[in-house]
Structure 1
Amino acid sequence: MRKTIPFLYAGNEQDLIQLKENIQPLIPQLEEGLTGSLLWYSQNAQYVPESVKIISIEYLAESRYKMTYSFRWNVFNACLDIDADQTITETVNFKWYSGHLIFDFIDNQQATTADEL
């Protein structure tokens, strides 16, 4: 799954610190793709809003990058006496092309019965 967002940046494509500082304010537009489905952990797992933080950006090749980020999620189930917070670290590849950032998210939505047929 890809997501494209406008990105006006006049800096050097290899200045990763400046690039990171310019992408961090755009995270709210990317949260859904960055966190994906938490059903793999638990049906009760909930993303903790505004917890996505960019750890690093790695330059791969011409206008292509890998971003390492972290976010928090919570599981609460009173019946089972579970109240846990976890921080997870993930990566996503993206490219900077013609004034846009194009992120390649892994689609990790739970399959439906129709998908199995």
Structure 2
Amino acid sequence: MKKLIHCDINGNILTVDELQQIIEPALSEIEESLIGDLTYFSENARYETNSLQIVSITQIGKNYYSMTYQFKWTIFNGCLDINADELTKQSVRFWVKPDGLEFDIIESFKGSTAEEL
């Protein structure tokens, strides 16, 4: 799935720090897609709001970057005596385009029984 953070690049060559300054205030635009469906961990897994942080941005090609990010999520199930806080790191790749930053986000979701067949 492609997600775009709009900004006026106009052919400028941006540093990693400048890219991070563009992305951080706009994280909420792509937050839900970056977190994905946590039910593949557990039906009780819940994202901890506002815990999404950029860990690093690395250039991997001309106008092509990888962003490592982390977020917290929790699982609580009183019946099974589970109360856990987890920190997950993931990466996403993005391209610098004239009209903004285009993220190529891999959708994660727990498949249904029908999809397993």
Query: Normalising by the residue count of structure 2, what TM-score does the alignment of the two structures yield?
Result: 0.89
Structure 2 equivalent of residue 111 of structure 1: 111
Shift of residue 18 of structure 1? 2.0
Distance 2:27 2:45 in 1: 20
2:34 is the alignment partner of 1:34: yes
Q: Partner residue of 1:12? A: 13
Q: Is the 8 A contact 2:65 2:94 kept in 1?
A: yes
* Unaligned segments of structure 2, at least 5 residues: none
Cα distance in 1 for residues equivalent to 2:70 and 2:45: 16
Match of 1:70 in 2: 70
Displacement of 1:62 after TM fit?
1.4
Amino acid across the alignment from 1:56? S
Could you list the per-position Cα deviations for residues 59-102 of structure 1 after superposition, in whole angstroms to 9, with x for gaps in the alignment? 11111100001000000111112111100100000111122211
Q: Which residue of 2 aligns with 1:45?
A: 45
Equivalent-residue separation in structure 1 for 2:58 and 2:32 (angstroms): 22
The equivalent residue for 1:61 is 61
Q: CA RMSD in A?
A: 1.6
Q: Is the 8 A contact 2:4 2:103 kept in 1?
A: yes
| Gaps in structure 1 of 5+ consecutive residues | none
Q: Distance in 2 between matches of 1:90 and 1:59?
A: 16
Q: 1:94 maps to which residue?
A: 94
Q: Which shifted more, 82-91 or 101-110?
A: 101-110
Mapped partners of 2:84, 2:116: distance in 1: 32
